[in-house]
Amino acid sequence: MELKDKLKVSVIGSGYVGLVTGVALAELGHSVICMDVDESKIAEIKKGNIPIYEPGLGELLLKNKAEGRLKFSSSLKEAVDHGLIIFIAVGTPPKSSGEADLSYVENVAREIAINMDSYRLIVEKSTVPVETGERVRQAMQLYIKGDIDFDVASNPEFLREGSAVDDFLHPDRIVIGVDSSKARDLLFCLYSPLAAPLIVTDIKSAELIKHASNSFLALKISFINAVSRISEMVGADVDKIAEGMGMDERIGKRFLNAGIGYGGSCFPKDVDAFIHMSEVLGYDFKLLKEVRKINEEQRQIVLKKIKEGLWILKDKKIVLWGASFKPGTDDLRGAPAIDIIEALLKEDAKVTVVDPQALDKLKDIFKDKISYEVDKYKAAKDADCILLTTEWDDFKDVDFKQLKDIMRLAFIVDGRNLYKHSELDSHGFLYLPFGSSAVGKPIGDKKVI
């Protein structure tokens, strides 16, 4: 096998990770089948209707489909027949204990084993607990017919929603967990068109790299949020603290933005799963429990800040600028906005939400309990408070004079520390950011911890 060889690849599970992986591998020149059991989803994708909002994905999908490198199927047998390398990219949803539900992974491993008639390399792409590779191997050995050779590998993804395609094509690193030279060579060949450092490990280490990376990033965010509380107590500025810390290359400036905390389908789930996994192995990961606690508290602090400005929330119009867990996605999973809206509704506040992408999904959750608006100024009419929840570009550029005229009270809680104190001050706003002094005089209890 030459490094430049084009390989036959199948990706089982055409959700967020699977679809991005399949499309990007086709873009690298490989021949890819993306498979999913959901026939209607596959039928829609074949028509070019992508079930997720991910910049660049649609264009690349259509291009590679048109050029004949990318196919879609709901037949697992077809996928197994096609792919020399088979990625497992099915969901690993959390159980109530925080443990990852691996039944979809096990099911796919079993089905691959039953349908396989010659060597295959099975690669875990889903985020899974350590030792899943070993379990996949055992499950396959149980069901495989005859003496067919196969390898299992772990190749965790580090894709961020909103920039997943770019992350795939320009990665910081590619982690390959293998226990055979054949598996290593196949994955080398697969990724040879990418100019990224490759780190080769055993399978368990690769599995742990994924959980440790996400948990460490969550830890950075909770750390700066804890510092932001101290900073606020003494009247310092957490953004400056983060800047000063981040200039030390050993610390790095990214993921040190204080605010309402992390959300999404990855950090909360992966932190829970890492805590649970450690507990099962006999280690009490107290540090990560604290990371999670600090993150949950940030959402309560938001409510306290709104109360600092308004005291009683009943019948007050609170406008959330942003709903998705971060800009560039319509994903509401684990989004701080969801918990905050629920808390505001419990206080009988009137809630209006503005979001450029996530309103349809939000309507499915809150129906007519809240109002929805696409224009940030229209939404602000007669509002008692604006809470900036997601730093979409549209919320970066604000005419504060116009905003003040529209609102009933000139009051902003900034969950992302986006605005300049001096600007809000000059327009006479009450402005409550995270981790620095308020602008204007809050009326409620100032102690937020």
Q: Which of 214, 215, 231, 417 binds ligand UGA (CB under 6 A)?
A: 214
Q: How long is the chain?
A: 449
- Distance of closest approach, residue 24 Cβ to ligand UGA, in angstroms: 13
CB atoms within 10 A of CB 322: 28
CA 353 to chain centre: 21
Closest CA to 178 of 215, 212, 206: 206
In three-state secondary structure terms, 69 is coil
Q: Is 266 designated active site?
A: yes
Q: Following DSSP, what letter does each residue of 336-372 receive, concatenated?
A: HHHHHHHHHHHTT-EEEEE-SS-HHHHHHHHGGGSEE
Per rule CB under 6 A, is residue 264 in the interface with ligand UGA? yes
Q: Do 70 and 23 contact (CB within 8 A), yes or no?
A: yes
Q: Where does this chain touch ligand UGA (CB under 6 A) — which range of 47-55, 117-125, 158-166, 315-323?
A: 158-166
Task: Give CA–CA dist 161/164, Å, rounded.
Answer: 5
- Residue-wise burial string across 114-132, b where 16 or more C-beta atoms lie within 10 A, e elsewhere: ebbeeebbbbbbbbbbbeb
Residue type, position 430, single letter:
L
Q: Which parts of 221-240 interact with ligand UGA (CB under 6 A)?
A: 221
Quick one: which of 203, 266, 432, 438 contacts ligand UGA (CB under 6 A)?
A: 266
Site string for ligand UGA, 22-51 (x = CB under 6 A): ------------------------------
Among 54, 111, 161, 355, binds ligand UGA (CB under 6 A): 161
**Nearest distance in Å: CB 32, ligand UGA:** 20
Q: For the CB of residue 214, give the shortest distance to ligand UGA in the complex, in Å.
A: 5
Q: How many residues bind ligand UGA (CB under 6 A)?
A: 22
Q: Is there binding between residue 53 and ligand UGA (CB under 6 A)?
A: no
What end-to-end distance do the CA atoms of the chain give, in Å?
A: 61
Residue 257 engages ligand UGA in binding (rule: CB under 6 A): yes
Q: By C-beta, is 26 or 218 nearer to ligand UGA?
A: 218
Q: Distance between CA 199 and CA 173 in Å, rounded?
A: 7
- Binding characters for ligand UGA, 363-402, by CB under 6 A (x = yes): ----------------------------------------
Tokens describing residue 92: 């690993």
Site residues for ligand UGA per CB under 6 A:
127, 157-161, 214, 217, 221, 255-257, 259, 261-264, 266-267, 270, 325-326
Q: Enumerate the active-site residues.
A: 266
